[in-house]
Amino acid sequence: MFVPENKEPFPRVQYTVKDTNPVWFYCRQTAHCQKGMVFAINPGQSGKLVEFQENARKTPLTPNAKSVASRRAMRDGGEVL
């Protein structure tokens, strides 16, 4: 979701963690992913989050469908509040 500068109130998303599987998130704002703006829930073994972040930093500014990180949060029932 794109958030304009100085948006009030700032939008929030509520997401229910349903299991222990990893869920990966990234920022779709231009160049934010390339600056490492990513996070994960249950990233698993040590180093996986760092690997995800490093891969995000290498993503082209105009990513193709194969290079975009998962949007699973919204697909799996995340709710914009």
pLDDT tens-place string over residues 12-33? 788 899 999 999 988 877 888 8
Q: How many domains does the chain have?
A: 1
Contact 73, 22 (CB under 8 A): no
pLDDT of residue 1: 60
Domain membership flag for residue 51: yes
Residue 34 within any structural domain of the chain: yes
Q: What are the b/e assignments for 38-60, b being 16+ CB within 10 Å?
A: bebeebeeeeebeebbeebeebe
Has residue 81 been placed in a domain?
no
Residue 13 in any domain: the answer is: no
Residue 63 lies in domain: 21-76
Per-residue pLDDT, 45: 86
Give residue 33's pLDDT: 84
- The verdict on pTM exceeding 0.85 is no
pLDDT confidence of residue 12: 79
Residue 2 placed within a domain: no
The ranges of the chain with pLDDT < 70 are: 1-4, 62-81
The answer to the question of residue 1 being in a domain is no
Indicate whether 40 belongs to any domain: yes
Whether 58 maps to a domain, the answer reads yes
